[in-house]
A and B are shown apart, each in its own frame.
Chain A
């Protein structure tokens, strides 16, 4: 099978996908999304003859828009544009999870400084303020007091992109210096890691958190599948908090998940699982 891998800045993950595709007897073909000229008025097949496409662009907007075009051209893309959209906007992810009864941290959306402060008052401090679009913990801030929340929101309102003026304000969950990244591949939950950060409240591995193997308990498995179902399913990296009183809460769902640290510490072949999943979809 010819497997297109669309990327903008290839990393270990994308090279691993190609490696595993070859081992499975498939032909991986790389496409740099920045080098493709997409024709919109005739929807010619921009990637030529490929059976399935794995979208791996790190730019959310390039991934989303190029996937929309590729789908319109008739390609099967993993993950689909709908799933990317559902996961790429944290506000949208949260409301989809809540709508499907998946437990999430308490959170508010506020569209003004005054409403943001009201959200903080409702939640109680500290609170976490997040950009609705963004990743790797970037510009995620903790406000310990009303004054600090006001300062964070004021700074955000001076930033360029309009979406920084959509304030996503979440309760601060007293998690045990770690969170869980659990992977869903179709209807399977093959692997999970703890992301441990003893030096900072953020647990992104991009910010130095240490990856350690985590068990996929029946409870975690069931939660991960429900979260995946809420956003449309696919290949997903789901971030889960362990709340001391409420149990597992889904914080975020990633549609373009990094996996090199998971492979390194667990030995599980995530790349192979993703390739096999894409091939299974293409054969349907």
Chain B
């Protein structure tokens, strides 16, 4: 069964890939960038405001 969560920006349903991981960043249909937080099997999405200044290769 597909994993689902609620978008904190638009309130819509977000379907997550089966292999979704804690910390993964996904883009929702509403345009929001969301980070997946998984604690004790519970999935919560948080909005990512932007790329941090030290992110990269």
Contacts and interface: CB of A to CB of B under 8 A. Distances in A.
Interface of A: 7-11, 14-15, 30, 32, 34-35, 58-62, 131, 133-136, 138-139, 161, 237, 254-258
Given A135-B56, A136-B56, A136-B57, A35 B51 contact: no
B23 A133 contact: no
Given A9-B23, A254-B57, 9 more contacts: A9-B55, A32-B22, A58-B55, A59-B54, A60-B56, A131-B53, A134-B56, A136-B56, A138-B51
A61 B54 contact: yes
Contacts of A35: 22
A135 B22 contact: no
A32 B21 CA distance: 9
Contacts, number: 58
Contacts of A254: 56-57
Interface string B16-55: 0001011111000000000100000000000000011111
Nearest to B25: A9
Given A59-B52, A136-B51, A32 B57 contact: no
Given A59-B52, A136-B51, A138-B51, A7 B57 contact: no
Given A136-B51, A138-B51, A10 B21 contact: yes
Given A9-B25, A9-B35, A237-B57, A15 B51 contact: no
Contacts of B21: 7, 10, 14-15, 30, 32
A153 B5 CA distance: 44
Interface residues of B, number: 14
B36 to A, nearest CB: 9
A134 B57 contact: no
Contacts of B22: 32, 35
B11 to A, nearest CB: 24
B53 A161 contact: yes
Contacts of A61: 54
Contact of A7 (B23, B35, B52): B23
A10 B24 CA distance: 5
A34 B37 CA distance: 11
Nearest to B52: A59
B55 A136 contact: yes
Contacts of A60: 54-56
